[in-house]
Amino acid sequence: MKRKPPKNAWKPGESGNPAGKPPGTLCVSTKLRRMIDAEKIIAQLQTAALAGDVAAARTLLERALPVYRTTAEPVELPELVAADDLTKKAHAVLGAVADGRVPPDIGASLVAAIGSVSKVAEVDELLRRVATLEEQHAKES
């Protein structure tokens, strides 16, 4: 059951605040930013970091430098290329990790990528089956 609006409710096209926000009004976050002396805080952090404060150094470095991400050398796994199904490809990667030819983090990334490919292949297979069923249904109709 829909409720009836009160008699003093706004009419369509009518604003609840026709004058709007006064020009120059600052939001709370802008007011806070203006209250903080960031340069002084950074200078104090720098002084503390140079004096051996590890937490201050970490804070400065985390904010100033991008996160370091490792980059791996290209990996050649002939058995991965030769494998004819996704399960054999995953086993090839795990074997290379076990032999020490591939670092564990790279192996985990490769196995995750193989898992993603298997999900895509599964969806493709389902779409193919649905299309075949629709064709058969259309021929029967």
Q: What's the pLDDT tens digit per position in 86-141? A: 999 999 999 999 999 998 988 999 999 999 999 999 999 999 999 999 999 998 87
Q: Does one domain contain both 57 and 82? A: no
In the structure encoding, which two tokens stand for residue 21, read together? 């926000």
Say which residues have a Cβ less than 8 Å from residue 95's Cβ, sequence separation at least 6.
79
Q: Does one domain contain both 119 and 85? A: yes
How far, CA to CA in Å, does 111 sit from each of 73, 84, 101, 118, 137? 17, 15, 15, 10, 39
Q: Does one domain contain both 97 and 129? A: yes
Total count of domains within the chain = 2
Q: Does one domain contain both 133 and 102? A: yes
Say which residues have a Cβ less than 8 Å from residue 89's Cβ, sequence separation at least 6.
80, 83, 114
Closest of 67, 92, 71 to residue 81, by C-alpha = 92
Q: Does one domain contain both 119 and 91? A: yes
Domain that holds residue 107: 78-140
Give me the pLDDT at residue 8, please. Answer: 79
Residues recorded for the chain: 141
CA distance 63 to 51: 19
Residue 38 included in any domain: yes
CA distance 101 to 75: 8
User: Using a CB cutoff of 8 Å and minimum separation of 24, what contacts does 98-107 make?
Assistant: 101/75, 101/77, 102/75, 102/77, 103/72, 105/70, 106/72, 106/75
Residue 19 included in any domain: no
Contact 114, 90 (CB under 8 A): yes
Q: Does one domain contain both 45 and 94? A: no
Residue 133 included in any domain: yes
Residue 98 included in any domain: yes
Q: What is the pLDDT of residues 52-84, one digit of tens each?
A: 999 999 999 888 887 777 677 788 888 888 888
Last residue of a domain, one of 6, 40, 64: 64
